[in-house]
Structure 1
Amino acid sequence: MEESRRTIIHTKTVVMHVCTSSAALPPPQLTLGPHRLQVVRSNKVLRIKVDNQLTWKQHVTSTVRSGAYRLYMLHRLKSFGTPADELKGVHLTFILPSLMYASPAWSSSPTSTQQQQPENVQKRTCRIILGPA
């Protein structure tokens, strides 16, 4: 078997102690050579925010914030008289992918409130594109 020549960079390596127990357990103190690794409560892995309780609160919050921020672009385009078909294209290109990224991995686990938040962004998108009902 061929030896891997990759090195682990201690400044880019973190430790996340995953524990769903209600008892507070101290996180492990791990080192890489002489360097102690930073212990974090959450971390992004392939743009998915994972926390040490395995909840999706931070991920859903950041996803919804990103989608809502992009609604401003849609709103501005609408104010310039952009046709609804083009606004729909902007939605399908810039807003929907950010809301749905990796949703098969996380969409079944959030609370009902967390599941409603991306849907609310979608509803706001429809109101911008189609106008008030």
Structure 2
Amino acid sequence: MQVGPQLPDRTTTAVVGLISHNDETAYRREISHLEVWCQENHLLLNVSKTKELIVDFRKQQRSLHPLLISGSEVESVDTFRYLGVTISQDLTWTQHITTTVKKARQRLYLLRRLRDFKLPLRVLKNFYTCTIDSILCGSITMWMGNCTKQDLLALKRVVRSAARTTRTTLPNLQDIYVERCRSRAKRSHPAHSLFSPLPSGRRFRCLRTKTERLKKSFFPLAVHLLNSEH
């Protein structure tokens, strides 16, 4: 379950809580702590912009009591955009990919216009890297592992269209994804210290995964990539 309270015209924050055995106490306690913290620091939560996203994969789902902040009910939503990534309650990425592809195609038009003005291919490729590739690859280590085939085809079509326009070979998104996973796992991921090395010290312990969704997520893939180097 995720809640995204917004402080008016200032910052956006998120509270993540776990409801176990149908007990909402710990989750609602976190929300209460946030309310108290805001009051003590002279901040006002904008309840009208606050959304609640519920992730529930149980076969028998039960409705939860409405979430109240300062006496006002928080709206429950199916998708929530946070730090540029659209998160769905079923943890699929189709909505995020649809939005990403739409934005990238809008910039493809600008790329074609620049080509019509006879700009050098080097400039066209730089424009692609800065304005289109940056959109396609935003937070790619988070979502690409669990993309559907249709989503991947939509992304590849954008890259192929840009390659025809620039008349150059552009980086493959799959290669970018693998390289960024490997790079983040080595040094820049904040949870790098959580990787558990084997007694040999050369390889990391593989994570146990019970679902395909977890198997294709960042941590199992990162461990696989690091181990493949030895």
- Using the size of structure 1 for normalisation, the TM-score is 0.88
Deviations 1:18-74 (A, max 9, x none): 123465643541111210001111010100000111110100000011111100000
Alignment of 1:43-82 (within 5 A): 43-82=80-119
Larger Rg: 2
Alignment of 1:84-103 (within 5 A): 84-103=121-140
- Using the size of structure 2 for normalisation, the TM-score is 0.52
Alignment coverage as a number of residue pairs: 129
| Structure 1 residue runs of 4 or more that deviate by more than 6 Å after TM superposition | none
Amino acid of the structure 2 residue aligned with 1:129: T
Deviations 1:83-116 (A, max 9, x none): 1111001001111000000000111011122122
Whether the 8 Å CA contact 1:15–1:37 is kept in 2: the answer is yes
Does 1 or 2 have the higher relative contact order (CA < 8 Å, sep 6+)? 1
Residue 116 in structure 1 maps to residue 163 in structure 2: no
Residue 15 in structure 1 maps to residue 80 in structure 2: no
The corresponding residue for 2:167 is 130
Aligned-pair Cα RMSD in Å: 1.8
The corresponding residue for 1:33 is 70
Whether the 8 Å CA contact 1:27–1:39 is kept in 2: the answer is no
> Which consecutive residues of structure 1, in runs of 5 or more, have no partner in the other structure?
none
